[in-house]
Amino acid sequence: MIQFCKNCLYSDQHPLGIIIHEDGICSGCKVHEEKYKFDWKYRLEKLKKIVNKYKSKRNNYDCIVPITGAGDSYFIIHIVKNILKLNPLLVHYNNYYNTQLGIKNLANLRIKFNCDILIKNINPEIVKKITRYTLRKLHSDYWQSLAGHTVFPVQTAEKFKVPLIIWGAHQGTEQVGMFSHMQEVEMTRRFRKDHDLMGYEAEDLIKPENDITYEDIYQYIYPTDVSIKNIGIRGIYLSNYIPWDPKSQHEEMIKKYGYKTCNFNRTFEKYDHTNCYNYMDIHDQIKLFKVGYSKVTDHAVREIRHKRLDRNTGISLIKKYERKKILFDNLFFKWIGIKDQKNSLIFDVMKNNKYWLRKDVKKYKFNGLSKYLKYEKSKNKKTKKIYFINNSNINLNEIPNYITFGKGIK
Ligand SMILES: [Zn+2]
């Protein structure tokens, strides 16, 4: 029996692990409630005290901030520069799936915040080779992106001897309430390996069955524990000190700094992954194959918890979006050099038989988690209309092509 939370739309099948308590409410919703209970002014003061110790006295950077140009990048830098008064070094791992809009947002961010930025471009042929393997072996188009985004900041901290790394939200805390905000959980090698990298560190990709060598993966190797300890590298999450609310944060960034947004085919959300052709497309499709729900569920849950969306509307939105056709799979397959993917079984082997019932060759019946979500009979409850701003008028489908490198305007 699949058990769903009474408040949000997550079930006990969540891949990060969720606990549904006796009152029917999940651990994620319980931890979310802390956002309304805690003294967040006090917590911000606590954060200021923590970071003040890292202000450089030797004309070095005070901290490192990993950015993608989308997601929470603008908000994190806004807090770091304007509220915490730190001088950050921004670091960006290029995953090569860039949209035109993502490049624009990244260029605009550089100008508006006037920061130094370090961009890592790993040889694309190596990134493709690794991706061909992780797609087959781990069913992931995104291993390289997550591995690069989570290792490059730590390598930079080591190289420049800047011990403090500042991240936005901790996914385990925000989605499933793995930790209380009070625990002030910090970045660990372990969480990265288990959750971001699906149990595979870079070294684990070298196998007799493939031609991946140490030369291919050394750029993704995490600094040693000894080095981390000697420099005192730590990564903190702003979401433990600031009540995290991506929708209102993004809207503040749109107003203050001109962050640009766009429509997506597979969700009602318009702010999060504007930088990437894959995240809300092939990556989202694979998520539905493997875990029986897609990103639109994450978005609906987040908005229900923030009390901007009611449960029934959330269910309708999930059903409306989760199985929409993906648009950019050809782009991805062309990039990694796989031909004739239409006839291959590459997607079929990814389908979890719990959520996809096989009827015939290449024919499956969808039995994902939304099939078990029940509408509530509500008499007096008004449905809430949720609104997201699209201020770019860019249709990602108009000029579909990965932008390898971007250049700034200034
Ligand atoms: Zn819940």
- Tens of pLDDT along 27-43? 999 999 999 999 999 99
pLDDT beyond 90 at 129: yes
Reduce the DSSP state of residue 226 to 3 states and report it: helix
Element counts in the chain: helices (H) and strands (E): 15, 7
Task: Quote the pLDDT of residue 383.
Answer: 73
Using the mean position of ligand 1's atoms as its centre, give its distance from the Cα of residue 355 in Å.
Answer: 21
Q: What is the predicted pLDDT for the residue at 346?
A: 86
pLDDT recorded at residue 407: 66
- Tokens coding 16: 């990060």
The Cα–Cα gap between 319 and 315 comes to 6
Q: Give the C-alpha separation, 175 to 254, whole Å.
A: 24
Q: Which pLDDT score, from 0 to 100, does residue 409 have? A: 53
pLDDT band at 190 (very low <50, low <70, confident <90, very high): very high
CA gap 180, 164 in Å, rounded: 22
**How far is the centre of ligand 1, averaged over its atoms, from the C-alpha of 242 (Å)?**
21
Q: For the ranges 30-39, 153-162, 385-394, which has the lowest average pLDDT?
A: 385-394
Distance 87 CA to ligand 1 centre (A): 38
DSSP state of 350: G
In angstroms, the CA 261 to CA 389 distance is 7
Q: Which band of pLDDT confidence, cut at 50, 70 and 90, is reported for residue 385?
A: confident
Please give the mean pLDDT across all residues of the chain.
Answer: 94
Q: What domains sit in the chain, N to C, each tagged with a CATH number? A: 37-240 (3.40.50)
pLDDT tens-digit series, residues 203-245:
999 999 999 999 999 999 999 999 999 999 999 999 999 999 9
pLDDT at 381: 67
Which of left, alpha, beta for 339 (phi over 0: left; psi -120 to 50: alpha)? beta
Give distance in angstroms: CA of 300 to centre of ligand 1: 11
Structure tokens, 150? 């989570």
Contacts of 330 (CB under 8 A, 6+ apart): none
Q: How many other C-beta atoms are found inside a 10 Å radius of the C-beta of residue 67?
A: 28
Distance 208 CA to ligand 1 centre (A): 43
CA–CA distance from 90 to each of 119, 120, 162, 408 (Å)?
8, 11, 12, 15
255/345 Cα distance (integer angstroms): 46
> Could you tell me the sign of the dihedral formed by the alpha carbons of 364, 365, 370, 372, in that order?
negative
For ligand 1, a single-atom ion, the residues with CB < 5 A are 5, 7-8, 26, 29
Going from the Cα of 170 to the center of ligand 1, the distance in angstroms, rounded, reads 17
Q: Is the model's pLDDT at 259 over the cut of 60? A: yes
Give the mean pLDDT of 156-166.
Answer: 97
- 197 CA from centroid of ligand 1 (Å): 25
Ligand 1 mean position, distance from CA 68 (Å): 28
pLDDT for 405 equals: 77
16 alpha carbon – ligand 1 mean position (Å)? 13
**What is the predicted pLDDT for the residue at 90?**
98
Q: Residue 399 above 80 pLDDT?
A: no
* Whole-Å CA distances, 33 to 27, 242, 299, 366: 10, 13, 17, 33
* Beta-carbon count within 10 A of 408 CB: 13
